[in-house]
Amino acid sequence: MSGMEALFALQDEDVLRGQLEYRRARLPEGDALVAVRAARTATTAEVEGLQVQRLDRARRQHRLEGDVAAIEVRLGELDQRLYGSAITSPKEATALQNEIEGLRRRQDDLEGEVLEIMEALEPVESRLDELAAAGLAGDAEIEGARAAFADAEALIDGELAKSATRREAAVGSLPAEVLARYERNLPSFGSSTVVRFSGADCSGCPYSMPAVEADRVKGLATGTLADCSECGRLVVR
C-alpha cells in the first residue's frame, strides 16, 4: 500500500469508526431496552402504591373487627345481666335494653364498614394479581431486550475491532510526518481532511486556488501531499 493510499485508507477507517460509534450510541435495541425497563418500573410503582392501599385498609379492617369483637363481649355481658337475676327494677331493665340496642346499631355500622373495606380490597387484590403476572412478563421482556442490545453492541464492536486493525495497518504504512499532519488537521476537517487535487482546485473546499498556487501543485509529482492555501486541507496531487 502506497503512502497516499494508506492515508486515504486511514481517513476511510476514521470515518467508518465515527459512523459505527454513532450507530452504537443510538441502537434501536437500546431504546427498546429503555422502554421495557420504564414499563417495568411503572409496574413496580403501581404495585407499591396498591400494597400501601391494601395495608392501610387491612389495618383499618383489623381495628374495626376488634371493635366489633369488643361489642360482642359487652353485649354478652349485658344479656346476662338483663336475663339474669341481677335486675331489680323496670328502670334498670330499660336502661340495659337501650344500651344493648345502641351497641347493636354500632355493631351494624362497624360490620358495614368492614364489608365496605373487604369489597374495596377485591379490585386491589385482583389488580395486584394482574401486575404480578405483568411483572414476570416484564422481567422476561427485559432479559430479551438486554440480550438483543448486547448482541447489537457486540456486532458493532466486532466491526470496530476490524476497522481498528485496518487502521493500524494504514498507520504503519505512513511516514510519521504525514501521520502527524493528518492528525493535526483531523479535528478541523473530519471526513474530508485529505482530498484530491481535481483539475486546478482542492476538491474539499468551494474556493478556487490562486493560479500560481494551482500551478505549483500541478508541478508536484503524482502522489505528493500538499496543503490547500484556501482551506488548509491536505491535498494529494
Question: pLDDT tens track of the chain, all 237 residues?
Answer: 577 899 999 999 999 999 999 999 999 999 999 999 999 999 999 999 999 999 999 999 999 999 999 999 999 988 888 887 667 788 888 888 999 999 999 999 999 999 999 999 999 999 999 999 999 999 999 999 999 999 999 999 999 999 999 999 999 999 999 999 999 999 999 999 999 888 778 888 887 888 888 888 888 888 888 988 888 899 998
| pTM (2 d.p.) | 0.73
Residues of the chain with CATH 1.10.287.1490: 3-172
Which helix (DSSP H) or strand (DSSP E) does residue 129 occupy? helix 90-172
Strands 201-202 and 225-227: unpaired
Question: For residue 85, what pLDDT is reported?
Answer: 67
Place of cell 407499591: 48
Give 3-172's CATH code, choosing from 3.20.20.70, 1.10.420.10, 3.20.20.80, 1.10.287.1490: 1.10.287.1490
Question: For residue 1, what pLDDT is reported?
Answer: 58
Q: Which of 44, 38, 35, 42 is nearest to 149 (CA)?
A: 35
Place of cell 486556488: 209
**DSSP readout, 135-191?**
HHHHHHHHHHHHHHHHHHHHHHHHHHHHHHHHHHHHHHTS-HHHHHHHHHHHHHHGG
Question: For residue 67, what pLDDT is reported?
Answer: 96
Phi-psi category of residue 110: left, alpha or beta, with phi > 0 → left and psi -120 to 50 → alpha? alpha
Cα–Cα distance measured from residue 14 to residue 129, given in angstroms and rounded to the nearest whole number: 54
CA 94 to centroid of chain Cα atoms = 71
Cβ count near 32 (within 10 Å): 17
